[in-house]
Amino acid sequence: MKLMKSSLPSLVNDGFLSGLLDDRFFDSDWMKRMENVPAVNVVETEKDFEIEMAAPGLDKKDFNITVENGVLSITCEKKTETQEDKKNYMRKEYNYKGFSRSFTLPENIKTEKVDARYENGILKLVLPKTVEAKVKPKAIEVH
């Protein structure tokens, strides 16, 4: 059995896509910033919106949640410091975690009733909707 060599140019080896698939692409600053932003699920029900954010390893005191001018902002900062002294060496490490997410809210949210809970590494916000008068559709006869 003989393998045939393809006459088509190799897209990666011939440089066509090498710039796109270069390791530097995945080390770019915007990719690193995206790693620090927690994933969010948003669910709309008939009576509210529910936002769940995966934020493990934090305490509820680390969160700052505000609603201002129709924008919900969630920021978090956690600083940790460890120091270890042993014979012949000393180690001191600092760690900082932080992120910020903002959501533009629809006009039908009761901003004064927004509720937030943090359990098992999940931040859950409930944003109740205002009660709007339900208008029944009216059939219009064509004359």
Domains of the chain (ranges; CATH) run: 23-128 (2.60.40.790)
User: 101 and 33 in contact (C-beta within 8 Å)?
Assistant: no
CB atoms inside a 10 Å sphere around CB 64: 11
The pLDDT confidence band at residue 82, using thresholds 50, 70 and 90, is confident
CA distance 102 to 72: 6
> pTM of the predicted model, to two decimals?
0.60
Q: How far apart are CA 126 and CA 43, in angstroms?
A: 10
Give yes or no for residue 5 having a pLDDT over 50.
Answer: no
Residue entry with tokens 């990719």: 31
SS3 93: strand
Q: Residue 124: which of 45, 40, 58 has the closest Cα? A: 40
Determine which of 41-55, 62-76, 85-99 has the lowest per-residue pLDDT on average: 85-99
**pLDDT value for 24:** 52
Q: What is the pLDDT of residues 83-133, one digit of tens each?
A: 777 777 677 776 767 889 999 999 899 999 999 999 999 999 999 998 764
State residue 135's pLDDT score.
52
At 47, give phi and psi (nearest 5°): -110, -10
Band of pLDDT at residue 75, cut at 50, 70 and 90: very high
3 band by pLDDT with thresholds 50, 70 and 90? very low
